[in-house]
Structure 1
Amino acid sequence: MARYIGPVCRQCRREGMKLFLKGARCFSEKCAIEKRNFPPGQHGKDRKPKIVGYGLQLREKQKAKRFYGVGEIQFRNLFEKAVRQKGVTGENLLSMLERRLDNIVHKIGFGTSRAMARQFVRHGHIAVNGHKVDIPSYILRPNDVVEVREKSKQNSAIQGAIEATAHLPAPNWIEVDRENLKARVLSQPKREDLVQIKLEEQLIVELYSK
């Protein structure tokens, strides 16, 4: 599977907004958007294209993919699952993205960024309902319990992430026990609870429905 390994700040600049890909740096004056809020490249500063129609739909899809760190094939598969579910397709898609294990580990403060949370999951530091799960794309359901495994609770990187995110509130659809490094999914997130950035999911639905 293709994986982007370049400078992540370029992705924020390409979308013209913060995608919060670098944890604490995104909230500081070092954030690329604060210093160079124009597309990357030699002519990025001078180029001001008018984006309409397909371009708008494509940008929304790319924005969502980059924000959640999901590849094209994974994203397309999630969309097809969202179509088969009852309810609004766009909201179903966002709900599944929000309930990915790597995203929830980040949301509850066990990783300062989704990339860090994804690495913790892949390295086997996270358990779901008492069983080790090392698949970042694992989708959690209501009443699932996520926790740092006992042997990983003293991991310096995890401890550092927990200290760095101590001031951040947890989503209201997740109950967090920071003392025991554990959290429980209370319910599926509602639309108003979804996504930290401005995203028009209907444009993504329109793009894939052509």
Structure 2
Amino acid sequence: MARNLDPKCRQCRREGEKLFLKGEKCFTDKCSVERRAYAPGQHGQKSGQRLSGYGTQLREKQKIRRIYGILERQFRKIFSAADLKKGATGENLLQLLEGRLDTIAYRMGFGISRAEARQVVRHNGVLVNGKRVDVPSYNCRPGDVIQLFDKTKLQLRTKAALDAAEGRGFPEWLEVDIKSGRGVFKSYPARQDLPSSINEGLVVELYSR
């Protein structure tokens, strides 16, 4: 399976903002974006570089891909599915991304980062409606019950991730019980509940060219 093996902190610096790919490190002063707030590479510190309209759209698409850890081909498939649904394509796109099992597992605190939550899913550590699902891209539906497998719940890394998530708080569209390692995907998030730093309209413009 193809993966993006670029260093996580380098990806954040390339986009010029925190993408929260390294778990708790992103919330400390050790974050690379805090220490080196410029793009990576020998020309990263040069200022005055202006992007074209296409370049701005491309950067926004790359940023969303990196946030959710999705490669280009898979992202295009999700966009096509969002375009076929009723409503705003951009909002549909973000809702489909948030409805993926690996994203929900991360939001519920089953992993300290999206990459770790994805690993928990792949290693048969998550149940959906009582059945094991090891596909990170599995599309959850409102009302689905997502919980940790008993052995996974006892792991120290999982306990630390749950505690950290509880300290930050959970999104409105999820109902999580920390003690039982169980949660309910109540509904797809509304656009106002998602980060305002994401401009999904640019992605729609990019794929509409």
Matched, 1:109 2:117: no
TM-score by length of 2: 0.96
Distance 1:20 1:151 in 2: 27
CA contact (8 A) 1:110 1:158 kept: yes
Aligned to 2:137: 137
Q: How many Å separate the matches in 2 of 1:187 and 1:153?
A: 24
Measure how far apart 1:188 and its partner are: 1.4
1:173 aligned partner: 173
TM-score normalised by length of structure 1:
0.96
Partner of 2:168, secondary structure, is: coil
Structure 2: how far apart are the matches of 1:94 and 1:34?
Answer: 27
Q: Is the 8 A contact 1:19 1:197 kept in 2?
A: no
Q: Compared with structure 1, are the counterparts of its residues 12 and 60 closer, same or farther at alpha carbon in structure 2 (3 Å cutoff)?
A: same
Give the secondary structure class of the aligned counterpart of 1:165.
helix
Q: Which runs of 5+ in 2 are unaligned?
A: none
Structure 1, gaps ≥5 residues long: none
Aligned position for 1:57: 57
Shift of 1:47: 4.5
Match of 1:36 in 2: 36
Aligned-partner SS, 2:21: coil
* SS of residue in 2 equivalent to 1:166: helix
| 1:107-135 deviation per Cα after TM superposition (whole angstroms, max 9, x unaligned) | 11121110110010001100100000111
Residue by residue over 1:135-189, the C-alpha shift from the partner in whole angstroms, topping out at 9 and shown as x without a partner, is: 1111111100000012322122212212233311111011111111000011111
Residue 190 of structure 1 corresponds to 190
Root-mean-square deviation (CA, aligned residues, Å) is 1.2
| Alignment match, 1:85 | 85
> Structure 1 residues 128, 185: closer, same or farther in 2, change over 3 A?
same
Assess if the C-alpha contact under 8 Å between 2:107 and 2:165 holds in 1: no
Q: Displacement, 1:7?
A: 1.1
- 1:197 is displaced (CA, Å) by 5.9
Percent identical across equivalent pairs? 51
Deviates more, 1:149-158 or 1:184-193: 149-158
Give the paired residue count.
209
